[in-house]
Structure 1
Amino acid sequence: MAEVATSARSSATPDQLLVVIDPVARRADGESVRIAKDVLSAGAASTKVCLPDGPEEFARALRRRGSRRPVVVGDDRALLRAVGLLHRQRELAGCSLSVVPVGPVLGLTRALGLPSGAVAAARAVLDGTERRLDLLVDDSDGVVLGAVGIPPVTAPEGTDVGPGAPAHPWLRTCQSLVRTLASSRPARVTAALGAAGTARLRVEVDGVTLVDLDQPVEGVSVMPGAGGVAVVEVRPLSVGAEASPLTASGRTVTVSGAHFRYRADAVVSGPVGTRTWTVREGAWGLTLPTR
């Protein structure tokens, strides 16, 4: 892992930054990486730049950050990796994370409100403010920043990860489009897909059953909402007219039944027989542009 330390300089910004540049970002858009590095180095009191070659060096750089504020230059997957590492180290509560989005998968960073350009994003790191965000943590200590989907439907690259809180209208638009397309399928196609793509699951929200094993479902989504609760949507199998989704909010969501796979942000996991997600309110901090 290459490291480049810049000397301290006079600046109105007292931050000392640890800039961790993900290798995928370096390969995907080296020019944006260079611009971000230059802006950060010029604006911070001091910067230390790390160029990890893989996940182990990425983790080592974060562990050795000392008092420096970590800045990840990378895409959604790099952000998820950083949050997951800090969570497992039990250091999320005391760490404010900054991100300059660079790379092929940027749906989550866009939805969180991070600027898309390297210059604007780097300036937001220097001049922005920390916002505490909710987190979903499962019973295997995995973290979710955006959404859990069952079954793990694959979305187009670049939009496969995104927060599901009602504050993001783009998600409601996507959900509406998916439901519209599903309802407009010919009956024979719907029946065929229903036989192969439905599941029988028990979904419990704060101990209350939202749907049980006797009701086939087409899909389940679990997303961080606002105020320390998760937003749950269950789409029952429709016969004829489209069935209305079942929704609920709560701090703990348990899904159980036949072994199922699920998509948590960009990662497909399973099969599992049961999984519980719990909301951690304000569990992680992200530097966002000051409004």
Structure 2
Amino acid sequence: MSEQLLVVVDPVARRTDGESVRIAKDVLSAGAATKVCLPEDAEEFTRALTRRGSRRPVVIGDDRSLVRAVSLLHRRRELSGCALSVVPVGPCLSVARSLGVPAGTVAAARAVLEGRERRLDVLVDDSDGVVLGALRIPSVPLTPAYGPGEPAGSHPWLRTCQSLVRTLVPARPQRVAPAPAPAPPRLRVEVDDETLVDLGLPLEAVSVTPGAAGLAHVEVRPLSVGAEASPLLARGHRVTVSGPDFRYRADATEAGPVRRRTWTVWEGALGLVLPEG
């Protein structure tokens, strides 16, 4: 399905793995007519996608780039008529892989050229945010792509100098009081207007993932006391979580705090080009 391609290369991918970016561009250019865009920020990324014309968009980047592209097309109500492709390059790739995108750069680029469009369900919340893979409550921190306090794109020699300075300057002993453990969340979870769990039960975690046929998979894990508590499972078209302020992680992004949020399954909303078979 290799017609004319608009290849948008995320700047983080260029900084973190320029060799994989080069390989992806070479494979794509050898198999189709391509126009390559190298945006430097989110505004240029948006401009490139909105001016794609009849070209099929291909994103070279990580999960954040993929979600950014899908969210933009959704807000413009262009997602249903667009076959999107992605070549995963960068620090966070779990969402793309969970959707069936090959992990290897060459295999992913070949799938762009030789694969077929598959329609996938997504979750859309009441603020028009899109979730491709999964959302989790409470938010679980991601492994940082860079060291603590290190800006994206810093050079190895700078990190070496910083480490040397830290070894030369004597450390001052500090007394740091341990942070109190956060209280377990107490939330009401409703699936298609039926209460799955109410505020009286402390929870360990809630997860919601788009499944198939317009239904989301919901798993609620009560906080275990003594014997491990069995998770509560449900499937439905609409999921509402409410209660005290809570944060959640949707794909590669943390959101909140909010007191109420509803996610609805949009069946077949995302057309993603994936390998045959």
Shared fold (TM-score, shorter chain, > 0.5): yes
Match of 1:20 among 4, 8, 16: 8
User: Which one scores higher on RCO, CA 8 angstroms, separation ≥ 6?
Assistant: 2
Answering whether residue 74 of structure 2 is matched by residue 114 of structure 1, we say no
Alignment partners' CA distance in 2, 1:82 and 1:154: 23
Select the residue among 84, 89, 95 that pairs with 2:71. Answer: 84
How high is the TM-score relative to the length of structure 2?
Answer: 0.85
Deviations 1:101-159 (A, max 9, x none): 1111111112222122222111110000011000000000000001111100124468x
**In the alignment, which of 250, 257, 261 is matched to residue 275 of structure 1?**
261
Give how far 1:196 is off.
Answer: 2.4
Q: Matched residues in 2 for 1:269 and 1:109: separation? A: 20
Segments of structure 2 that go 5 or more residues without pairing to the other structure are 146-178
Alpha-carbon spacing, 1:157–1:131, altered in 2? closer, same or farther (3 Å): farther
The SS at the match of 1:199 is: coil
Partner amino acid, structure 2, of 1:20: V
How far apart in 2 are the matches of 1:141 and 1:24? 25
Structure 1 residue 64 displacement after superposition: 0.2
Q: Which of 248, 251, 274 in structure 2 is aligned with 1:265?
A: 251
Q: Does 1:206 align with 2:177?
A: no
1:105 and 1:157 in contact (8 A); partners too: no
Alpha-carbon offset, residue 197 of structure 1: 3.9
Residues 216 and 236 in structure 2, CA contact (< 8 A), matched pair in contact too: yes
Partner AA of 2:191 in structure 1: V
* Cα distance in 2 for residues equivalent to 1:87 and 1:213: 33
Deviations 1:198-233 (A, max 9, x none): 111110000000001111111111111121101111
Contact 1:230/1:250, CA 8 A, preserved across alignment: yes
Q: 1:257: Cα distance to partner?
A: 0.6
Residue 75 of structure 1 corresponds to 62
Q: What TM-score do the two structures reach when normalised by structure 1?
A: 0.81
C-alpha distance in structure 2 between counterparts of 1:138 and 1:113, whole Å: 23
Q: Structure 1, residues 73-117: CA drift from partner, whole Å, max 9, x if none?
A: 011111011001100111000000001111111111122221222
Find the counterpart in structure 2 of residue 63 from structure 1: 50
Q: Which runs of structure 2 are paired with 1:42-53 in the superposition (5 Å)?
A: 42-44=30-32, 46-53=33-40
Q: Is the 8 A contact 2:2 2:113 kept in 1?
A: no
User: Per the alignment, do residues 135 and 25 of structure 1 end up closer, same or farther by CA in structure 2, a change over 3 Å counting?
Assistant: same
Q: Answer whether contact 1:194 1:218 (CA < 8 A) is retained.
A: no
**Corresponding residue for residue 10 of structure 1:** none
1:287 aligns with 2:263: no
Structure 2 residue aligned with 1:239: 225
Shift of residue 194 of structure 1? 11
| CA gap 1:14/1:106 in 2 versus in 1, 3 angstroms | closer
Corresponding position: 1:37 with 2:37 = no
Unpaired runs of 5+ residues, structure 1, are 1-12, 159-192
Given that residues 69 and 95 in structure 1 are in contact (C-alpha distance below 8 angstroms), is that contact kept between their aligned partners in structure 2?
yes
Q: Please tell me whether the aligned partners of residues 92 and 252 of structure 2 are also in contact (alpha carbons under 8 angstroms).
A: no
